[in-house]
Amino acid sequence: MSIEEQITNGVIAGIKALYGADVSAEQVQLQKTKKEFKGHLTLVVFPFLRISKKSPEQTAQEIGEYLRSNLPDVVEDFNVIKGFLNLTVASACWIGLLSEINQAPSYGTTEATDQSPLVMIEYSSPNTNKPLHLGHIRNNLLGYSLAEIMKANGYKVVKTNIVNDRGIHICKSMLAWQKWGNGETPESSGKKGDHLIGDYYVLFDQHYKKELKELEAKGLTKEQAEAQSTLMAEAREMLRQWEAGDLAVRTLWETMNSWVYAGFADTYKRMGVDFDKIYYESETYLEGKNEVLRGVEEGIFYQKEDGSVWADLTKDGLDEKLLLRADGTSVYMTQDIGTAKLRFDDYPINKMIYVVGNEQNYHFQVLSILLDKLGFAFGKGLVHFSYGMVELPEGKMKSREGTVVDADDLMDEMINTAREISQELGKLDGLTAEEAEDIVRMVGLGSLKYFILKVDPRKNMTFNPKESIDFNGNTGPFIQYTYARIRSVFRKAAEQGIQIPDQLAVTALSEKEEGLIQKVAEYKSIVQEAAKEYSPALIANYIYDLVKEYNQFYHDFSILREENADLRDFRLALSANIAKVVKSGMSLLGIEVPERM
């Protein structure tokens, strides 16, 4: 039974004994005592005033005295601040709790069973006309971390990706390569395939803008120029040919997409994210088209005279939504309907989570309604994990204009910066070249991941590369260095033949040590809360707080030099379990921690 459960039971018994009334465990509000007050746990007594018919201070005093008398092994002391009863928990309880945590190799996490619900999490969703960029990095890191957090809460998880491999934007890159590529390939250019195709997407936009400018110079309005653009007309015709199955267009499409997929695979591997199942819009849009046409037949949707298909959502407080264009081509919504159907055909999904930016809030609101109207039981239960945009200090990025920061370039920059700073600070001294490069990679990518994941996902954020690589403050390197510091203590302990005993013999602890055990024990509830709130930031900031507290302890207390062997062994056990929780928490963020630095 946990310390909180023992105290809760004591309070329930105390209320009965003191005031002759029954209360439930839900009415007993225990919270961590604020730092400015003495104590570990605080009981809020206001809910009991109508039972005690006494002042908050007197009620708290009486309950405190009851707990100290009847739970002496748990409640060592108490103090009253207005309607709050601050309880000091006996050292023996904290030592016992640390022993329990020490015996649980995977403390704070739960393994899935055959009966566990299945959660499918969609993230990444790249287009095959450009490389992954900074926005994709936040998406991938959030999606992967959320999957790890759900696994840690005992769910079965399927990580999935939907690749946007068809549509007008793909045709723009294809057309540009056809016109101006001169047969260029990743091999002939020395470029990653996704970067090469992204260059042609930018090139199309440059030629298109030039054409519009020439048309406008002849006296056409912007709208007239766009309507008369031969380049855009060619791109639309290519899309029509693709949907008609034209062999030449399809062959070019397959070739260029294969270059992109090879590039994506490298980026994903380096970023440390993966997928259990990848869907492709080229394979799901027809399924969506069939569902939309079924909707027309059943009177759920309607068709206009021009042949386009629409959903009237005015009764749902929304507007009318286009589902098929007049020429029969699909829109994103159609594809998402098809993808959702295929996924639920493929897996017994209990919960479907879409990790997509907040600019798509309306889209997923509509998708949920449309799936429900089409009779899919899972329609209403879809979860849109909506996250904020990420920008650089210089501002917004645009793919068409080539002002996007590629994921590969950013990872290169982070690793190079980590190398420079680590060398300056002497963090790589005494390491082989191979060890140093591995640590530099961990620190560079850890900086990037932590800086992004520590922010509340719902908020927009500015990613500042320079701020993220700092061995002090709320950063990945600060946490990684602390973990390496603890591992260094254990290497020294091993050299001295010191091992942590199975039973801890220490009897009294300092407030700092008790507070650290309490902090370590919180990990379990933090992991649960992170899944409930869909927020890796809760884990990131908890780990930082734990590491910050440990560093103060490390500075103020001796570990291996402690003359009292029982106290030394306890501090080693405490350090070991802090390292265990740090490694576990960072792994839920997709971040590696080095054994030495």
Tell me the pairing of strands 75-81 and 84-89.
Answer: antiparallel
- Write the single-letter amino acid at 88: T
Instruction: Give the integer Cα–Cα distance in Å for 223 and 372.
Output: 38
CA angle 394, 398, 404 (to 5 degrees): 65
Segments of 4-117 assigned E as strands? 30-32, 41-44, 75-81, 84-89
In this structure, whether the domain defined by 123-391 belongs to CATH 3.40.50.620 is answered with yes
Tell me the pairing of strands 118-122 and 351-357.
Answer: parallel
Q: Which CATH architecture has domain 3-89?
A: 2-Layer Sandwich (3.30)
Q: What is the pTM of this model?
A: 0.92
CB 267, CB 194: distance < 8 Å = yes
In this predicted structure, the answer to whether residue 400 has a pLDDT above a threshold of 50 is no
- Average pLDDT of the chain is 94
Question: Which whole number is the average pLDDT over 153-167?
Answer: 96
162-182 pLDDT, tens per residue?
A: 999 998 999 999 999 999 999
Instruction: Give the integer Cα–Cα distance in Å for 251 and 285.
Output: 19
DSSP assignments along 2-18, one per residue: -HHHHHHHHHHHHHHHH
CB 369, CB 316: distance < 8 Å = yes
In this predicted structure, the answer to whether residue 404 has a pLDDT above a threshold of 80 is no
Segments of 236-359 assigned E as strands? 277-280, 302-303, 309-312, 320-324, 351-357
531-574 pLDDT, tens per residue?
A: 999 999 999 999 999 999 999 999 999 999 999 999 999 999 99
The tokens 């062994």 sit on which residue? 569
Calculate the alpha carbon distances from 462 to 17, 138, 551 in Å.
56, 11, 28
Which residues lie closer than 8 Å to 371 by C-beta, 6 or more apart?
A: 337, 340, 378, 379, 382
The tokens 């990790």 sit on which residue? 355
Element (H, E) at 163: strand 156-163
402 secondary structure, DSSP code: T
Share of the chain above pLDDT 90, in %: 87
Locate 209 and state its tokens.
């803008």
Locate 441 and state its tokens.
């990679």
Question: Which whole number is the average pLDDT over 403-429?
Answer: 89
Tell me the pairing of strands 461-462 and 302-303.
Answer: unpaired
Instruction: Give the integer Cα–Cα distance in Å for 574 and 124.
Output: 39
Closest Cα partner for 342 from 115, 162, 156, 146? Answer: 162
Instruction: Give the integer Cα–Cα distance in Å for 403 and 394.
Output: 11
Instruction: Give the integer Cα–Cα distance in Å for 355 and 143.
Output: 6
In this predicted structure, the answer to whether residue 394 has a pLDDT above a threshold of 80 is no
As annotated, the residues of the chain forming the CATH 3.30.1360.70 domain(s) are 3-89
Go through the chain and tell me how many residues it has: 597
Question: Which whole number is the average pLDDT over 24-32?
Answer: 95
Taking the mean position of all CA atoms in its chain, how far away is CA 5? 31
330-363 pLDDT, tens per residue?
A: 888 999 999 999 999 999 999 999 999 999 999 9
In this predicted structure, the answer to whether residue 84 has a pLDDT above a threshold of 70 is yes
Calculate the alpha carbon distances from 550 to 485, 545, 556, 571, 595 in Å.
11, 9, 10, 11, 17
Least confident of 65-79, 458-472, 573-587: 458-472
With bands split at pLDDT 50, 70 and 90, how would you rate the model's confidence at 399?
very low
The answer to whether the Cα torsion of 458, 464, 469, 475 is positive or negative is negative
Multiple choice CATH, 408-588, 2.40.50.140, 1.10.730.10, 1.10.8.870, 3.40.50.720: 1.10.730.10
CB 334, CB 324: distance < 8 Å = yes
Calculate the alpha carbon distances from 49 to 24, 25, 54, 540 in Å.
15, 16, 6, 39
Instruction: Give the integer Cα–Cα distance in Å for 211 and 357.
Output: 33
Instruction: Give the integer Cα–Cα distance in Å for 405 and 391.
Output: 10
In this predicted structure, the answer to whether residue 119 has a pLDDT above a threshold of 90 is yes
With bands split at pLDDT 50, 70 and 90, how would you rate the model's confidence at 502?
confident
Instruction: Give the integer Cα–Cα distance in Å for 509 and 553.
Output: 12
Query: What pLDDT shows up at residue 392?
Result: 77
Question: Which whole number is the average pLDDT over 136-159?
Answer: 98
CA angle 242, 243, 245 (to 5 degrees): 65
Closest Cα partner for 8 from 47, 35, 34, 38? Answer: 47
Q: Is 59 helix (H, G, I), strand (E, B) or coil?
A: helix
The tokens 């309306």 sit on which residue? 362
Calculate the alpha carbon distances from 569 to 159, 392, 498, 507 in Å.
42, 47, 8, 12
CB 192, CB 266: distance < 8 Å = yes
Question: Which whole number is the average pLDDT over 454-483?
Answer: 92
Q: Considering all CA atoms of the chain, what is the largest pairwise distance in Å, rounded to the nearest integer? A: 94
Cβ burial 294-306 (10 Å sphere, 16+ → b, else e): ebbeeebbeeeee
Walk across the sheet containing 383-387 and list its strands. Answer: 277-280, 156-163, 118-122, 351-357, 383-387
- Write the single-letter amino acid at 321: K
Closest Cα partner for 125 from 107, 138, 112, 110? Answer: 138
In this predicted structure, the answer to whether residue 60 has a pLDDT above a threshold of 50 is yes
In this predicted structure, the answer to whether residue 469 has a pLDDT above a threshold of 90 is no
As annotated, the residues of the chain forming the CATH 1.10.730.10 domain(s) are 408-588
Query: What pLDDT shows up at residue 465?
Result: 83
Query: What pLDDT shows up at residue 397?
Result: 44
Q: Is 449 helix (H, G, I), strand (E, B) or coil?
A: helix
Which residues lie closer than 8 Å to 426 by C-beta, 6 or more apart?
A: none
With bands split at pLDDT 50, 70 and 90, how would you rate the model's confidence at 329?
confident
Which residues lie closer than 8 Å to 578 by C-beta, 6 or more apart?
A: 486, 516, 520, 546, 547, 550
In this predicted structure, the answer to whether residue 231 has a pLDDT above a threshold of 70 is yes
Query: What pLDDT shows up at residue 243?
Result: 87
As annotated, the residues of the chain forming the CATH 3.40.50.620 domain(s) are 123-391
